[in-house]
Chains A and B, each alone.
Chain A
Amino acid sequence: MQPASPDTRKFFYEHLGLNDQLLERCLSEALSAGGDYADLYFEYVTASSLLVDESLVKSASQGISAGCGLRVVSGERTGYAYTDDLSPERLMRAARTAALIASGPSKQQVQGFHESPSAGLYPIACVGSDAETTAKLDLIQRANRAARAYDHRIVQVQASFADELRRILVAASDGSFATDTQPLARLNVSVIAKDGENIARGSSGGGGRVLLDFFLTDKTPEYFAVEAARQAVLQLGAVPAPAGEMPVVLGPGWPGVLLHEAVGHGLEADFNRKKTSAFAGLVGQMVASSKVTVVDNGTMPNRRGSLNVDDEGSPTQETVLIENGVLKGYMSDKLSARLMGIADTGNGRRESYQHIPMPRMTNTYMLAGDDAPEDIIRSVQRGLYAVNFGGGQVDITNGKFVFSASEAYLIEDGKITAPVKNATLIGNGPESLKHVSMVGNDLRLDEGVGTCGKAGQSVPVGVGMPTVKLDKMTVGGTGN
């Protein structure tokens, strides 16, 4: 732990004219109609993006977005207003609007804040220097060259770099106060390979809450470029994916999106409080094979899904969701924690100041098991080996979830054979993980590309998994 960044507080107070008294006045106004709890969420985001396409720097953009969201909670009710004008008059007006959710006499005065220390999970950046822009440009130009050099069949390359610096300040009527400065960067490469009439795409990317040096030392532009090009060239020779139920082996890392869809969303506290999740009431029961332990961990340094504090100002933590197959608990924000009498796990997140926070995942992954990945492949007579995925989706009420394989192979007689075309895999959340029969010793986290959508709000997340074998899953191809 280190002291909370005094610079972030100073930024809001000096640049945006905030002070303790103004925050207290806004919170008091927000509770003027008798709410139980109120909070203010200030956000100041600077974002930039660069794109190399057809070997030209075609696009460069940057933007600034700032505002404040004001929330009043009264029982199960939430009133919310936001403003991008941070003058005291506008803030007070928004507080009055949010206050209307409650109806009663004013309850409490807000006096003084106590700020929690920061976990210091990521570097503090300064953004926007010309030298930095030139360095980013150099990264994506390197990616462009590396992808084109990989194979003469690579005919189109787009390489982009997008980053943002998000400063937040949260002040609540219970006296809690938090600030954080959150960097987020991502390098992406997407390519088209062409061989006669045959065309395929490939893409790769990564990053996290990191600065530029990450792409110079840890994961270079060449690493992502070669990966995108390799996938596209591989897909040129893909055969139709099989159709029907079969054993499925998922590779380590990004295929952990399985967990995000199959169990993650269903274990968000709000759905369980409202009993709209297929997992409602299943705490203490077996929802997976005894080989399966799944955690959500917002405290991993530099990870895309990590946060020093969530968007309600609560510290993040490691939360065990499933332990040896048994459902242990839910991911919660302040509202559901209070209403359900469970712990706030620091999972209250929101897309921006324009959005109401709700329980969201951070980095969700399965812990490693004992099996060697080669043994897992060797154990399958006929099945699918899937190592890369596009997006997924879940219906949390009936538990059905899908995720779409973008790189997968047939397994025949214990050996990996032909690459197959894109196919969607479908399963049932509370059932699928019961079919996990082998768990590899090779846990890996994804490269830092995940974005999760819920109720129209997008937030960055991470996933991870070792190599895992599911004895049966439905594969949505067209072949035999």
Chain B
Amino acid sequence: MHTTEEQKKSASNIDREFVTDIVTKALRAGASDAEAVFAEGDEFETLVRLGQVEQLKEAGSRALGLRVFHGHRTASTSTSDLSPEGIEQLVSGAMALVRITSEDPFAGLPERDEFGSLSGDLDLFYEDVYSLPAIERIEYARRTEAAAMSADARIQNSGGGSFDAATGRKILANSRGFVGESRRSSCSISAQPIAQSPDGGMQRDYWYSSQRSLGLLDSPESVGLEAARRTVRKLGARKVATQRVPLVFAPEVASSILGSILGAINGNAVYRSSSFLAGKLGETVAGSNLTVIDDGTMVGGFGSSYFDGEGLPTRRKVVLDKGVLISYLLNTYTARKLGLQSTGNASRGLAGSPGIGAGNFYLEPGTKTPEQIIAEIPNGLYVTDLIGHGVNIVTGDYSHGASGLWIENGELAYPVEEITVAGNLKEMLHNISEIGNDLIFRSSMACPTLRVEGMTIAGE
């Protein structure tokens, strides 16, 4: 099995001129402003299960999006048809739609002096994610699963081991002179072992390593071993009584609290007052130990980019400074609605108006190790998994299904499942009593271990 050269070189020859030309066509068709985006991507997925290849996927796709303005009216179209007829339809469709939308004085492209792109190399693209022949990609997936399967006799089944790689290229151009192009790559390995206890109860868990470059991935063996460790520790889990005790959120689930903050500072929620943090700029909304940063400029970061979805340079900003709300995340539209400046956080899909997305979003670490934080708790819960969609950003109400390990006299004693953890974010942000030193970027959002007081566990 091999990857053909032609497949590898399938990246199209669509260039900046092609995209700028679509902007010109829209202006010629009567648009007062226009913005076009081209996106293409390739993906390779390998799934090995119980040592055998189960799925191989290899493909590429590309598409165009167009946003037009007619004065303060706006509309958008997208297509996967890049032929001259397809582009003609893209433009005429957008111009037909723009007639039916309303005059909105806040709608429009950013001002000319706002555009820009970071200079230097952010290390977002590595050719090496596609450098392995197919047979070796399969080997990565196989080794990751095998390491998990051989780690413990109670692991006899598996959801599989995987190796995935992807690259993408994007060109953004608008009628106010901005043209930007960027490429990105990613690759990952994962294992999902399933363990069984003597009574027949099954548990699964998952671990992965994800990087922009193949050379930066953790070894398949270390990923498989960690997946196994996380799985077998859940065996024999029990329910506990309804009670209030200190909770310690492991980094993987602590980031769900950080994600709730992200949702609440999203300019779209803020200008509609549909966030518990709306109208709180400059106020103390969290404990003085909380500092949250959004930084789209980190070298190699999963959330890094040279320019945002509207062509503004990305930047680093303090969101929460010692508990005080310093900044929302805004695109041009939401900034104008709030009488503020865009924070360079526009996100752009192919269709529709720009949304809002974070760069690398993280909570600054504290000084204690996770072990020290757990050791200080006589009776509590170490939360390792959350399921469900139980956050109401409007009210701050927070209620999730959870599982984890019970803490007894400062030590992890036994696994716990089928419980919920609940509170209100407005209070939870003041009740984070400890922040771990374990800030690790496994994705664009990163949060250290957190200890939170005053939440309710519902169980038996």
Chain A interfacial positions (CB closer than 8 Å to B): 47, 49, 56-67, 76-84, 93-94, 96-97, 100-101, 103, 130, 133-134, 137, 155-156, 158, 192, 194, 199-201, 235, 241, 243-245, 274-276, 278, 354, 356, 390-395, 397-398, 400-404, 421-424, 426-428, 474-478
Contact = CB atoms under 8 A, between A and B. Distances in A.
Given A390-B389, A474-B459, A426 B401 contact: yes
A61 B419 contact: no
Contact of B53 (A101, A137, A398): A101
B390 A404 contact: yes
Residue of B4, B80, B103, B134 with most chain A CB atoms under a 10 A cut-off = B80
B58 A397 contact: no
8 nearest A-B residue pairs (beta carbon): A476-B420, A402-B401, A63-B78, A402-B388, A244-B242, A243-B458, A56-B102, A391-B389
Contacts of B74: 58-59
A234 to B, nearest CB: 13
Contact of B388 (A77, A276, A424, A475): A424
B203 A398 contact: yes
B194 A397 contact: yes
Interface in B34-90: 49, 52-63, 74-81, 86, 89
A61 B194 contact: no
A200 B274 CA distance: 8
B97 A61 contact: yes
A427 B418 CA distance: 6
B202 interface: yes
Contacts of A477: 399, 422, 456, 458
B157 A393 contact: no
A107 B389 CA distance: 48
B273 interface: yes
B400 A59 contact: no
Contacts of A101: 53, 56
22 contacts: A56-B103, A57-B101, A57-B102, A61-B75, A61-B77, A61-B351, A64-B78, A84-B62, A200-B394, A235-B395, A274-B159, A276-B159, A354-B59, A390-B390, A398-B201, A401-B387, A424-B390, A428-B418, A474-B420, A475-B458, A476-B421, A478-B456
B392 interface: yes
Nearest to A278: B202
A97 B58 contact: yes
Contacts of A63: 77-79, 350-351
B: interface residue count bin: 35 or more
Interface in B379-417: 387-390, 392, 394-395, 397, 399-401, 403, 417
Contacts of A59: 74-76, 101, 352-353
B368 interface: no
Given A424-B422, A428-B418, A393 B61 contact: no
Contact of B102 (A58, A64, A82): A58
B153 interface: no
Given A77-B53, A97-B7, A133-B100, A58 B107 contact: yes
Interface of B: 1-2, 4, 6-7, 49, 52-63, 74-81, 86, 89, 93, 96-98, 100-104, 107, 134, 157, 159, 194, 201-204, 234, 237, 239, 242, 272-274, 276, 350-353, 387-390, 392, 394-395, 397, 399-401, 403, 417-424, 455-460
Given A393-B388, A424-B400, A424-B420, A201 B57 contact: no
B438 to A, nearest CB: 25
B394 A201 contact: yes
B413 to A, nearest CB: 19
A478 B395 CA distance: 14
Nearest to B231: A397
A76 B160 CA distance: 13
Given A63-B78, A93-B6, A194 B53 contact: no
Given A64-B79, A65-B80, A403-B388, A194 B63 contact: no
Residue of B78, B194, B388, B418 with most chain A CB atoms under a 10 A cut-off = B388
Given A59-B75, A76-B54, 6 more contacts: A56-B104, A58-B107, A64-B81, A393-B388, A404-B399, A421-B397
A235 B399 CA distance: 16
B424 A478 contact: yes
Contacts of B93: 62
Contacts of A235: 395
A465 B212 CA distance: 46
Nearest to B424: A478
Given A57-B102, A404-B390, A81 B59 contact: yes
Contact of B76 (A61, A81, A476): A61
A100 B74 CA distance: 46
A422 B54 contact: no
B390 A476 contact: yes
A48 to B, nearest CB: 8
A244 B460 CA distance: 6
Contacts of B420: 243, 402, 423-424, 426, 474-476
A215 to B, nearest CB: 18
A106 B422 CA distance: 59
A221 to B, nearest CB: 17
Contacts of A82: 59, 61
B132 to A, nearest CB: 15
A400 B385 CA distance: 12
